């Protein structure tokens, strides 16, 4: 029996991931997603395109057509999201180029208001190798601002100010990426690797993103100091923070 004065049940923490292409959330934030999910948190991935034109070269070389490739990438991404413990939603907005639009941004506002994220993950501002990633960044940030505004129409409650983390681009130095947060993903590394292996269309990246996790792990250990009892091989993901961290004490 529910007591009339019982406090409302606190919903689990919510993470929203906004990505341009079907594989992006796996390579760049699969560890962060798996960690949150392993704690019982809710993770929603807003995947704006399937990466059907720009990030599916293997399938094109095999002679597949556009619709087949979209279906392949959707299936792969759904499997990967299930392995990580997240829900993925596709917007099929078309890649290469992904064009930022008011309509698509409005759809993201609805996702923000529905999921009420405590944390937002998306691409960094710059990527001179792939214009779709900055387009996704712009829409993710713009939708977050609009979703905060009581005057912006749409269903659902307005959101707070969830911290935003930019995940690591494929060409970090050229994209102005500097690790500001190193997240220890050692305990969910096997899960991330399994999710990566769902992406057969981009098999060439499995080894690369394994190496990157080792390298970021080495940097994490160097910055953590010797006494934290970290695993011999610590795996990590790097993030940037576009907005200031809020604190009551420096830690």
24/41 with CB nearer Zn ion: 24
Q: Which residue's C-beta sits nearest to Zn ion?
A: 21
Token readout for 193 is 């690797």
Q: Which is nearer to Zn ion, 20 or 238 (CB)?
A: 20
76 binds Zn ion, rule: CB under 5 A = no
Annotate 163-223 with three-state secondary structure. Answer: CEEEECCCCCHHHCCCCCEEEECHHHHHHHHHHHCCCHHHCCHHHHHHHHHHHHHHHHHHH
Distances from the Cα of 173 to the Cαs of 20, 127, 158, 214, in angstroms?
A: 20, 10, 36, 18
Q: Which is nearer to Zn ion, 11 or 200 (CB)?
A: 200
Q: How many chain residues interact with Zn ion (CB under 5 A)?
A: 3
25 vs 147 by CB, closer to Zn ion: 25
Q: How far is the CB of 140 from Zn ion (least distance, A)?
A: 13
Q: Residue 49 Cβ, how far from Zn ion at the closest point, in Å?
A: 9
What's the N-to-C CA distance of the chain in angstroms? 43
**Residue 24 C-beta: closest distance to Zn ion, Å:** 4
| Binding to Zn ion, residues 164-193 (CB under 5 A) | none
* Residue (105 or 130) nearer to Zn ion, CB: 130
User: Contacts with Zn ion in 14-33 (CB under 5 A)?
Assistant: 20-21, 24
Q: Of 86 and 220, which CB lies nearer to Zn ion in the complex structure?
A: 86
- Count of alpha carbons within 13 angstroms of residue 154, beta-carbon side: 23
For Zn ion, the closer of residues 19 and 44 by Cβ is: 19
Minimum CB distance to Zn ion, residue 170 (Å):
8
Query: CB of residue 143 vs Zn ion: minimum separation in angstroms?
Result: 18
CB of 218 to Zn ion, least distance (A): 25
Mind spelling out the 3-state secondary structure of 5-37? CCCCCCCCCEEEEEECCCCHHHHHHHHHHHHHH
Residue 62 CB partners (closer than 8 Å, separation 6+): none
Q: In what order do the strands lie in the sheet with 236-240?
A: 87-90, 42-47, 14-19, 119-122, 164-167, 236-240, 181-184
Distance in Å, CB of 64 to Zn ion, minimum:
19
Token readout for 156 is 């659902």
Q: Which residues bind Zn ion (CB under 5 A)?
A: 20-21, 24
């Amino acid at each position: 029996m529910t007591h009339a004065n019982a406090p409302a049940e606190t919903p689990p923490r919510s993470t929203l991931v906004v990505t341009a292409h079907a594989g992006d959330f796996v390579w760049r934030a699969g560890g962060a997603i798996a960690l949150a999910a392993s704690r019982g948190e809710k993770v929603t991935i807003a995947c704006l395109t399937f990466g059907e034109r720009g990030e599916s070269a293997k399938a094109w070389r095999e002679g597949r057509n556009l619709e087949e490739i979209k279906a392949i990438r959707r299936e792969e991404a759904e499997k990967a999201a299930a392995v990580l413990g997240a829900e993925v939603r596709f917007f099929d907005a078309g890649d290469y180029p992904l064009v930022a639009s008011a309509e698509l941004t409005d759809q993201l506002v609805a996702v923000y208001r529905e999921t009420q994220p405590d944390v937002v993950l998306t691409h960094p501002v710059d990527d001179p190798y792939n214009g779709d990633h900055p387009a996704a960044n712009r829409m993710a940030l713009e939708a977050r601002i609009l979703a905060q505004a009581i005057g912006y129409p749409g269903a659902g409650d307005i959101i707070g100010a969830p911290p935003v983390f930019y995940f690591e681009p494929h060409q970090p130095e050229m994209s102005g990426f500097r690790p500001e947060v190193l997240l220890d993903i050692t305990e969910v590394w096997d899960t991330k690797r399994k999710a990566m292996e769902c992406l057969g269309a981009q098999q060439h990246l499995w080894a690369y993103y394994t190496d990157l996790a080792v390298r970021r792990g080495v940097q994490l250990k160097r910055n953590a100091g010797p006494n934290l009892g970290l695993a011999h091989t610590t795996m990590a993901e790097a993030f940037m923070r576009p907005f200031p961290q809020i604190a009551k004490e420096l830690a």
